[in-house]
């Protein structure tokens, strides 16, 4: 009976995966025809397949399977994004990245906190939890968008790097506020800064070690005995970098992103893969990243709780409006101003104001708060999903149009 029950559950999961992949593939074709980023269509497909619509899939947000897909999928997408960055571009804009991923997140959180306290009448500590949970940008959303649209390198790489690096800042801020809300601690600016530096430094170190070792074994003239196993190495190293960083209480996403940067810039260390093996790995990484974002966003869409959102949708939309049109522009203009070397133009800053989607990372933080019975967790979850729906469906779909209007495209966007 037990074996039969296990087999039945396995068949149900296989059936759900088949539906997700089939419907997601159709969504990808539609997105390509409409020339919009596919994550927006995947989200809509998930909503249509979810228990509140067709009921074709029902994988709970707190299930182990869902968490594996979210964590590994986000990591692999982040690795893919890191591999597309180039040292020459990062050297030009690193000051902006460092400021916007730290001070920028704090500005966004502060504005959102004040707005939530004023508009929704939330206690200050609950408003601060909401501000912290939704302040970080989402690499699983932004990396695919900039991989599909030919945006100028320094813009795309700055925004992708911000989304990778500010996850540590957002997590630290969220759990610092949570400790205060639960009466388990008090805010310490110096302590928070030290914790951020520790998580960031360890994440960068672990990602660098894993990245250099992988590049050595894949592309060194003498030691590249794993050259033909590039796809397998990426799977192992992505999981290994994340888990190693997490084991030392560092930022796993940062470690994976840095690992990707080193693999993408392996030629800078004198490492060069055989052309056939490099092409095989590139194709595999692109296909795996597509599958991961399809799975992530279809699942995310299927888990939207419209009954919960309905209670707060008016106030939630007002809050998201302030989030998009006040907090983000303020963050971008303040954080790019000190970086004189980058010489950001007004149009570049304006474009960065619009590329700030909310996605998997804020959803995961909201889920953790719900699981820990944090004060106001229900409201935080509702507003987070409103932010996800609005920013992905509005900002992601209009990014190509705005990029063309502001002259941010490298070339004409053609099929």
Sign of the four-CA dihedral 108, 78, 413, 20? negative
* pLDDT at residue number 110: 93
Q: Could you give all domains of the chain from N- to C-terminal order, each with its CATH number? A: 62-405 (1.20.1530.20)
Side-chain half-sphere CA neighbours of 21 within 13 A: 10
CA distance 348 to 342: 11
pLDDT (tens, 9 = 90+) of the chain, 415 residues, equals 455 777 887 888 888 889 999 998 999 899 888 878 888 889 899 999 988 888 888 888 777 788 888 888 888 988 888 888 888 888 889 999 989 988 999 999 999 999 999 998 889 889 999 999 898 887 777 878 887 888 888 898 898 888 877 877 787 788 778 877 776 555 566 676 777 778 888 989 999 999 999 999 998 878 888 888 889 999 999 999 999 998 988 888 889 989 999 999 998 888 888 888 888 998 999 899 889 889 988 988 888 878 878 888 888 899 999 989 999 999 999 999 999 888 899 999 999 999 888 877 788 778 778 767 788 888 888 888 888 889 988 988 899 899 999 999 876 554 4
Quote the tokens at residue 400: 């190509």
* pLDDT at residue number 109: 92
> Over the stretch 24-48, which tens digit does the pLDDT of each residue have?
899 989 988 887 888 888 989 999 9
Count of CB atoms situated within 10 Å of the CB of 330? 16
DSSP 137: -
* pLDDT at residue number 197: 78
- Those residues whose C-beta lies under 8 Å from the C-beta of residue 51, and which sit 6 or more positions away, are 57, 58, 302
Quote the tokens at residue 228: 């033909």
Count of CB atoms situated within 10 Å of the CB of 178? 23
* pLDDT at residue number 3: 55
* pLDDT at residue number 5: 77
DSSP string, 45-86: HHHHHSTTTT-S----TTSHHHHHHHHHHHHHHHHHHHHT--
Quote the tokens at residue 367: 């889920």
Cross-strand partners of 199: none
DSSP-based three-state secondary structure for 233: helix
Count of CB atoms situated within 10 Å of the CB of 31? 20
* pLDDT at residue number 25: 92
Contact 109, 101 (CB under 8 A): no
């Amino acid at each position: 009976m037990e074996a039969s029950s296990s087999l039945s559950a396995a068949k149900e999961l296989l059936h759900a995966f088949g539906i997700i992949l089939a419907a997601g593939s159709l969504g990808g074709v539609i997105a390509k025809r409409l020339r919009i980023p596919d994550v927006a269509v995947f989200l809509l497909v998930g909503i249509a397949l979810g228990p509140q619509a067709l009921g074709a899939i029902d994988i709970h947000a707190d299930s182990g399977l869902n968490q594996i897909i979210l964590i590994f999928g986000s990591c692999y997408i982040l690795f893919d994004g890191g591999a597309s960055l180039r040292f020459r571009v990062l050297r030009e804009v690193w000051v902006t990245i460092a400021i916007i991923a730290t001070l920028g997140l704090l500005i966004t959180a502060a504005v959102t906190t004040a707005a939530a306290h004023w508009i929704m009448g939330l206690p200050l500590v609950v408003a601060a939890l909401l501000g912290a949970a939704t302040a970080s940008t989402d690499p699983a959303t932004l990396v695919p968008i900039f991989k599909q649209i030919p945006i100028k390198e320094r813009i795309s790489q700055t925004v992708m790097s911000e989304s990778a690096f500010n996850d540590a800042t957002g997590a630290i801020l969220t759990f610092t506020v949570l400790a205060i809300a639960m009466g388990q601690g008090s805010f310490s600016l110096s302590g928070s800064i030290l914790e951020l530096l520790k998580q960031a430094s360890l994440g960068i170190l672990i990602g660098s070690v894993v990245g250099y070792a992988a590049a050595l074994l894949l592309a060194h003239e003498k030691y590249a005995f794993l050259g033909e196993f590039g796809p397998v190495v990426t799977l192992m190293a992505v999981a290994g970098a994340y888990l190693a960083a997490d084991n030392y209480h560092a930022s796993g996403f940062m470690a994976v992103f840095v690992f990707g940067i080193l693999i993408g810039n392996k030629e800078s260390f004198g490492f060069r893969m055989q052309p056939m093996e490099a092409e095989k790995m590139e194709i595999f990484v692109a296909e795996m990243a597509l599958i991961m974002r399809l799975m992530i966003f279809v699942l995310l869409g299927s888990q939207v709780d419209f009954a919960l959102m309905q209670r707060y949708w008016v106030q939630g939309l007002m809050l998201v409006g302030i989030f998009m049109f006040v907090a983000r522009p303020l963050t971008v203009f303040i954080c790019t101003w000190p970086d004189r070397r980058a010489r950001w133009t007004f149009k570049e800053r304006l474009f960065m104001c619009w590329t700030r989607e909310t996605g998997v990372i804020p959803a995961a933080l909201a889920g953790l708060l719900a699981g820990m019975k944090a004060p106001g967790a229900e409201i935080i979850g509702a507003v987070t999903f409103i932010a996800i729906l609005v920013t992905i469906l509005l900002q992601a779909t209009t990014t190509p149009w705005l990029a063309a209007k502001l002259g941010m495209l490298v070339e004409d966007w053609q099929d």
